[in-house]
Each structure stands twice: as structure tokens, then as C-alpha cells.
Amino acid sequence: MAPTAPEVLFSQMTHTILIVGAGFSGTVLAAHLLRQPFGRPTRIVLIDRGTTWGRGLAYASSEVPYVLNVPAGRLSADSRDPLQFLHFARQHQPQADAEDFMPRALYGSYLQEVLDQAEQAAPAHVVLERRFGEVRELVAATGTTGAAGAHALEARLADGGSIGADRVVLAVGNPAPPVFPWARGVLHHRAYIHDPWNLPREFQARHAVLIVGNGLTMVDVALALSQEGSELPVVQTISRHGLLPHAQTIFRPMAVQGSGEGLLSQAHSVRRVLAASRALAREVESQGGDWREVVTYIRNLAPRLWRAFPEAERRRFLRHLQAQWDTHRHRLPPSMWARIDHMRRSGRLQVHAGRIKQLIPEGDELRVVWRRRGGRELESFAVDAVINATGPDYAVRRSRDPLIASLLQAGWISADALDLGLRTGEFGACLSGQGAPTPRLHYLGPMLRADHWETTAALELRAHAELLARHLFESGRE
């Protein structure tokens, strides 16, 4: 049978954009690309090593009713329609309000619909190809770029296949948690759990569990271990500062206005920025406002502040203030905070500040040897499980992702000096080991924090996705 007109058209296509990763970043970028007015045949290939689109780890379906930590009214994947997610949520929960915290799995369904609708609305000469597979390596393709069927880059897959592309965007999501020195000897012990999202067994009231880390991941794990109707184990946590996330409130995100020149003028010193921020918070609260309004204001300034800090001041921030910033910036929905507070007051959750020195196997248990913050003596206790909830390891030089490791070895990407992620240029262009943009290779995701700091939330990543989509469209016209 002779191919239809569209099939003939796409068999001669020369412009292909490959997006590696179909979590939030990859899915939203693909949707925005499908909306661009490409004038020539264009293929957008979205490939993921998982089995679903738009969910990734963050929005996967789960027996645990995890909820988003941002209200529904501030989670649209499209800046042109700020309440888009709220409208979608109301199809499932008609009484949903802009300040409600919705299930994460529902947000995954929303992202799938965003992509489906963008695909359906795209012109016939712009197609989306969805594939499951793992990209292991990128190489410069042979042949003449621009000739029919020839591309600048070739992605080699784990199954032996390959994909030719003119542009490649790495949207691989969050890396795995780090392997700390104290865990290296127990990685295969049944009581050590490196993946906090894959708890291999149920715990009972007689069990003692240690969660390493006190951020949002810890809260998710603690709540998963204490679901209503289950026997509750004693949960202990440990982190360097022992700080827990604050609670969300209903506040005005854009209450604090201004160009931020006052704060930016202090960017040569973290200490002075902190003093100015505290003064601003006191002023806002004295007028009946909420300190969260100031955090949001600073969050919007964060990329400019971060780039203005000398490296020494960035290091000072990471050493002394990051934990404080994280607990104020990454907050808990009120219902989750109330449950954690109840667990703590009832003694089922015990929070420690300190450092683990060693994990010693004792049969099916692990003995935790640690030093309390500010203390000199080592202490120890035995637990039935140690769960690593310290969050992603953004140090590219330690990456266990075959693709990232191969690109680093080839010099196509480079790590920043502070182990925060990838060095990038304008529009997320990957910088080589020599500091020059790697032709036709971009990155979109949380490891942009190396140059922008605040790049883990949906709104920041959405903004980067929209800019990159427009840039790729303009580049495709060349």
C-alpha cells in the first residue's frame, strides 16, 4: 500500500528534537514545542525509561495519598492560563479551591492531558513520537547535517537502537540520593533502604525506623509509615540541623513588590542579604502580612541574587543558611504539617540534629553510631531499618546515570564547582568542559540550580520550558 501524504512527508523530515525524560520538564517542554508555529516538518521525540508520560517519580500513582505542597491555583503548566490545573482538578473534585492541596497523582493525570491536548491541536506537519527506552550515549552523527534523513546527533539506546536528532534536550529529572560513606558497607543489608520511594516491607509497632534527612522526603516517608489503620513504628530522624519544614498558609504571593535593587545591591555578602531579608520580613509582619510573602519575593529574585554572589559567598550560603532557606521555602500543606506535629508530640516521631558516623550490622538490625550537634561524645542506638531520605545527589561527577556519566566523560557537559548540578548557558545550553556551549545540546530540570538556584518547583521549570521551546523553534528556522 502506498503511504499517505503525511507519511511521505515525514519520511523526508530533517528537523527532529529529542527530549530525554518524560517527567514534568520533558512533558511540559514537549507540549510547548507542539504549540510552536513550525514552518517545516518537525518531529518531537519524547523518550522515557519508565512506563508513563508526565508523571515521573513525583506524580506517580501510589497507595499513599501524597499531596502537592503548592496550592492548585499556582500550578498551571501554561503561563497563559494560570488556573488551568485548578479547572482540571474541578473536573474530578468540583468543590476544589485555588488554595487546596491536591493529590500528586491527579497532577500527573493533568500533565498527561496537557500533552494529549497539545498533540491533538498541533498541525499535521508537527508530530509527537512517544517512546519507552533508555538513552545511554550521545554521539555526533555521521553524514551531512541538513540532508534528508541526516541529523547532527545520534542517541544510542540500551536496547541497541538509535535515534537521530538535530537538537537534544536532557530532561532526566532528579538524580538518585547520594551514597554516604557511612552507608557504603551496608548497601546490600536488608535493613538499609536507599530508595525512599520503594519501601520493601511493612513495619509494625515493635519496629524502630531511622529516616536520614528532615526535609519533604522525610515527611513523605514518615507519613507512609504511619498511614491510618496501620500499626505505627517508632520513627526517628536525623539531619545536620534537625530542622523541619514550616507549614503553608493562605498568603498573597505577590504582596511584596519592587525591583529588588535593595537586596541585589547587598549581594556581595550573604550576611547583608540575610539582614535585609529579615528587616523586610519584620516590616511586612508589622503591617499584618506573612513572612511567606517575603520568601516568595526573594524566591523570584533568587536567580539574580545567586548569579551576583561571588563563589565564596555561595559557599557560605550553602554551609550556613541553606538548611534555613529550605525549611522556609519548601513548606508543608497544613494537613501534612498537622500530622507530623501530632506524631512528634505523641512521641512516635523523634527528631535529632547531628551526623551519622557509622552503621554497624547486628543481625537483621543496624546500629547507628552518631554524634549529636554540638556534642563531642559518640552515641548509638539500634534500628530495624535506615531509610535514606536526604534527597537527590546533584553532584554530576558522582552520577550513576549512564547517559550523564558518558556525556561528562566526553566533555559535552560539565559540573559546577559546588556540586549543585550542570553548568549551563542561555536557554539551558550545556557547557562543555572548556566552558563553551555544546552545539545542539540543552538541559531542562532541577540541575539548573547551579546557575539559577531556584529551579525545582513547577513554576520555575515552566518558565524555563517556555523560553527553551521558543528558542528551539527559532533555532529550527535557521
pLDDT per 10-residue tile (average), the chain, 478 residues: 40 79 96 95 93 68 80 95 97 95 93 96 95 95 52 93 96 92 95 89 83 95 76 88 95 88 91 95 95 95 95 96 96 94 92 97 97 96 96 93 96 96 96 94 96 92 97 83
Give 18's strand partners: 45, 168
- pLDDT, position 60: 67
- pLDDT, position 3: 38
Domains and CATH numbers, the chain: 5-66+103-176+395-476 (3.50.50.60), 181-246+331-388 (3.50.50.60), 261-325 (no CATH)
Those residues with Cβ within 8 angstroms of residue 1's Cβ, 6 or more apart along the chain or in another chain: none
As a whole number of angstroms, the distance between CA 22 and CA 232 comes to 36
- pLDDT, position 147: 39
Length of the chain: 478
- pLDDT, position 197: 86
- pLDDT, position 4: 39
Q: Write down the pTM of the prediction.
A: 0.92
- pLDDT, position 399: 93
Those residues with Cβ within 8 angstroms of residue 401's Cβ, 6 or more apart along the chain or in another chain: 172, 175
- pLDDT, position 475: 86
Amino acid at 70: V
223 — alpha (psi -120 to 50), left (phi > 0) or beta?
Answer: alpha
Using CB atoms within 10 Å of the CB of residue 252, give its burial: 0 to 12 exposed, 13 to 18 middle, 19+ buried: exposed
**What's the CA angle centered on 374, arms 373 and 375, to 5 degrees?**
90
